[in-house]
Amino acid sequence: MKRLYGILIAMVSMAASTFAADWDTANGLYAEGNYADAAAMYEELVEEQPAAEVYYNLGNAYYKMGEIARAILSYERALRLKPKYPDCKHNLALAQSKIIDNIEDNHHFFVAQWAKAFRNLRSENTWFYLSVGLFWLFLVCTFVFAFGRNIIVRKTGFHVAWITLLCSIITLWCAASLHHRDSAQEEAIVVQGIVNAKSSPDKSGTDLFILHEGTKVWVEETVNGWCSVHVGDNVGWVSGSAIERI
C-alpha cells in the first residue's frame, strides 16, 4: 500500500512539474510576441488543468492576435472559475468594446437580472460551502432558541436562526443556479464573423437579424445542429457551429 501511495505521489509530482514547465514555456512565447504558439500551448494546458489564470493568458494571446471572439470566450471561462478577477474583468470589458453588436439584454425582468448579477459574484463551490456553513449556524441557533436559559438568549437565537436559514436558502439557490447554467451551457459566444439568425432551424428560414463575432447569446434549445438563441429582445435560430458554449 505504501508503495502504491509513493507511485501516486510521484505521478502527481511529475504531472505538476510538467504543467509548470509548459506554463513557463507558454508565458515565454507570449513575452516574445509569438502569440499563436503561446495560445496553442495555453489551449493544451486548459485541457489538462482548467484554471482561471490559464484562460486569462489564453484570452490575452487571442486578443493580441486580433481574435476578439476567442478572447472574450476565454475571459468568460476564466471568470466562471474565478468571479473576483479584476484584471480579467477589465480585459473582458476592453475586448467587448471592440465588437460590433452592443445589444442590451432586456429579455429578463430587472429583478431577475439583478439576481443573476448577485449570483455571479461568487463561484458555485463558494456559494455551496457558504450555504452549508449558514445551515449549520441555523442549527446551532435553533438549539439556543430551544434550550436557552433566559428570554433574551432565546429571542436572539430565534431571530438569528431564521435569518441564517433564509441566507442559506439564497446561497443554495445561487449554487444551484450556477450549476444549472454551467451544466446546461446556456451561454455562448458567437465565433463566426457574421451570422444570420433564422426564423426556423434550417437554412431556408427567413433572416431575422444579424449577429457579429464576440456577441454573447443565451441558448434556449438545440434541434438538428441548430440553436435557438436570444440576445436582447431578439430570438432566432443559428447554426451550432457559429457559436461556442462558455
Fold held by 2-96: 1.25.40
Contact yes or no for 55/40 (Cβ under 8 A): no
Mean pLDDT over all residues of the chain?
87
Output Rg (C-alpha) for the chain, integer angstroms: 23
- Report residue 103's pLDDT band, with 50, 70 and 90 as the boundaries: low
- Which of 186, 1, 162 lies closest to 76, judged by CA? 186
Lowest mean pLDDT among 13-22, 126-135, 164-173: 13-22
Domain residue ranges in the chain: 2-96, 110-184, 187-245
Q: Which residues are within 8 A (CB) of 175 and not within 5 positions of it... i.e. 6 or more apart?
A: 124, 125, 127, 128, 131
- Report residue 242's pLDDT band, with 50, 70 and 90 as the boundaries: very high
The 8-class DSSP code of residue 238 comes to E
Residue 1 has pLDDT above 60, yes or no: no
Residue 13 has pLDDT above 70, yes or no: no
Residue 136 has pLDDT above 70, yes or no: yes
CATH number attached to the domain at 187-245? 2.30.30.40
Q: Residue 235 CA to chain centroid, in angstroms?
A: 23
What is the pLDDT at residue 12? Answer: 44
DSSP 103-156: ----SS-HHHHHHHHHHTTS-HHHHHHHHHHHHHHHHHHHHHHHH-SSHHHHHH
What is the pLDDT at residue 8? Answer: 41
d(Cα 10, Cα 20) in Å, to the nearest integer? 15
Residue 108 has pLDDT above 70, yes or no: no
d(Cα 184, Cα 10) in Å, to the nearest integer? 37
What is the pLDDT at residue 25? Answer: 93
- Report residue 11's pLDDT band, with 50, 70 and 90 as the boundaries: very low
